[in-house]
Amino acid sequence: MYHDLFSADSPQEATLVNLLRYRAQQQPNHVPYTFLVDGETEKLSFTYETLDQKARAIGALLQSMEAFGERVLLLYPPGLEFIAAFFGGLYAGVTVVPVYPPRGKQRMTRLQAIAKDAQATFALTTSSVMTQLGERFKEESELAALQCIATDNIAENLANDWYFPEINNDSLALLQYTSGTTGNPKGVMVNHDNLLYNSALIYQAFEHTPDSRGVIWLPPYHDMGLIGGVLQPVYGSCSVTLMSPESFLQKPFRWLKAISDYQATTSGGPNFAYDLCVDKITPEQRQQLDLSSWEVAFNGAEPVRAETIEKFSATFADCGFKRSAFYPCYGMAETTLIVSGGLKKEPPVIRFVQDKAFKQNLIVTTTSKDEDARAIVGVGHSSLDQKIVIVHPESLTRCLDGQIGEIWVAGPSVAGGYWNKPEETQQTFNAQLQNTKEGPFLRTGDLGFLLNGELFVTGRLKDMMIIRGQNHYPQDIEFTVENSHPALRANCGAAFSVEIDGVEQLVITQEIERTYLRQLDVDQVVKSIRQAVSEQHQLQVYAIVLLKTASIPKTSSGKVQRHACRVGFLDKSLDVVGDWTANLTETDLQQLQAEVDNLWEQVHSSDVNSDINKSETEQKSFKPTLTEKEIQTWLISHLALYLNIPPDEIDIQEPFTAYGLDSAVAVSMTGELGQWIGCELAIILFWEYPSIEILAQYLAEEYNSLSSSKSPASV
Q: What is the pLDDT of residues 508-519, one digit of tens each?
A: 999 999 999 999
Are 134 and 219 within one domain?
yes
Contacts of 289 (CB under 8 A, 6+ apart): 256, 257, 259, 260, 316, 319, 320
Chain-centroid distance of CA 575 in Å reads 20
Are 227 and 325 within one domain?
no
Are 472 and 554 within one domain?
yes
Does any domain span residue 180?
A: yes
Are 603 and 563 within one domain?
no
Does any domain span residue 666?
A: yes
Give the Å distances, CA to CA, from 314 to 131, 288, 320, 321, 577: 48, 17, 10, 9, 36
Does any domain span residue 107?
A: yes
Instruction: Give the least confident one: 69-83, 340-354, 623-637.
Output: 623-637
Q: Which amino acid is at 371?
A: E
Are 601 and 576 within one domain?
no
- pLDDT confidence tier of residue 618, bands split at 50, 70 and 90: very low
Are 228 and 132 within one domain?
yes
Rounded Cα distance, 715 and 529, in Å:
32
What is residue 587's predicted lDDT score, i.e. its pLDDT? 44
330 Rama sector, left if φ>0, alpha if ψ -120 to 50, beta otherwise? beta
Q: Does residue 297 contact residue 325 with C-beta atoms inside 8 Å?
A: yes
Which CATH number covers residue 658? 1.10.1200.10
Work out the burial of residue 675: count CB atoms within 10 Å of its CB; fewer than 13 is exposed, 13-18 middle, 19 or more buried.
middle
Give the residue from 650, 607, 602 showing the smallest Cα distance to 626: 607
Last residue of one domain, picked from the residues 189, 214, 243: 243
Does any domain span residue 451?
A: yes
Mean pLDDT throughout 314-323?
Answer: 98
Are 472 and 445 within one domain?
no
Which CATH number covers residue 369? 3.40.50.12780
Work out the burial of residue 8: count CB atoms within 10 Å of its CB; fewer than 13 is exposed, 13-18 middle, 19 or more buried.
exposed
When the pLDDT of each residue in the chain is averaged and rounded to a whole number, the result is 88
Neighbours of 49 (CB within 10 A): 15
- Percent of the chain residues topping a pLDDT of 90: 62
Sheet holding 387-391, edge to edge: 387-391, 405-410, 442-451, 454-460
Does any domain span residue 515?
A: yes
Are 577 and 596 within one domain?
no
Contacts of 504 (CB under 8 A, 6+ apart): 465, 466, 467, 497, 498
By residue range, what is the domain housing residue 13? 4-243
Q: What is the pLDDT of residues 213-247, one digit of tens each?
A: 999 999 998 899 999 899 999 999 999 999 998 88
Is the sign of the CA dihedral 521, 525, 526, 528 positive or negative? positive
Neighbours of 204 (CB within 10 A): 12
Q: What is the pLDDT of residues 576-592, one digit of tens each?
A: 999 999 864 544 556 65
Does any domain span residue 369?
A: yes
Which CATH number covers residue 484? 3.30.300.30
What is residue 590's predicted lDDT score, i.e. its pLDDT? 62
Rounded Cα distance, 255 and 217, in Å:
7
Q: Inter-axis angle of helices 192-205 and 16-26, to 10 degrees?
A: 60
Does any domain span residue 715?
A: no
The continuous run of DSSP H or E covering 111 comes out as helix 104-118
- Which residues, listed in sequence order, are joined to residue 630 by a DSSP beta bridge? none
What is residue 394's predicted lDDT score, i.e. its pLDDT? 86
Rounded Cα distance, 30 and 238, in Å:
9
- pLDDT confidence tier of residue 107, bands split at 50, 70 and 90: low
Give the Å distances, CA to CA, from 494 to 13, 105, 144, 219, 479: 46, 23, 36, 22, 9
Contacts of range 20-28, beta carbons closer than 8 Å, 24 or more positions apart: 20/48, 20/51, 20/52, 20/55, 20/87, 20/234, 21/52, 23/48, 23/52, 23/234, 23/237, 24/48, 24/49, 24/51, 24/52, 24/53, 27/237
Mean pLDDT throughout 103-128?
Answer: 85
Can you list the alpha helix ranges (DSSP code H) found in 145-286? Answer: 192-205, 223, 232-236, 245-250, 253-261, 271-280, 283-286
Are 121 and 192 within one domain?
yes
φ/ψ of residue 315, rounded to 5: -65, -40
Work out the burial of residue 663: count CB atoms within 10 Å of its CB; fewer than 13 is exposed, 13-18 middle, 19 or more buried.
middle
Q: What is the pTM for the complete model shown?
A: 0.72
* CA-based radius of gyration for the chain: 30
Are 454 and 497 within one domain?
no
**What is the DSSP secondary structure assignment for residue 705, as one 8-state letter?**
H
Instruction: Give the least confident one: 138-142, 197-201, 630-634.
Output: 138-142
Exposed e or buried b per residue across 576-594, where buried means at least 16 C-beta atoms within 10 angstroms of its C-beta: ebbbbebeeeeeeeeebee
- Which residues, listed in sequence order, are joined to residue 19 by a DSSP beta bridge? none
Last residue of one domain, picked from the residues 566, 581, 596: 581
Are 96 and 135 within one domain?
yes
Rounded Cα distance, 219 and 243, in Å:
9
What is residue 183's predicted lDDT score, i.e. its pLDDT? 60
- Which residues, listed in sequence order, are joined to residue 370 by a DSSP beta bridge? none
Q: Which amino acid is at 282?
A: T
Question: Is a pLDDT exceeding 50 seen at residue 617?
Answer: no
Q: What is the DSSP string of 575-590?
A: -EEEEEE----HHHHH
Are 570 and 607 within one domain?
no
Domains: count for the chain: 4
Does any domain span residue 714?
A: no
Last residue of one domain, picked from the residues 439, 458, 477: 458
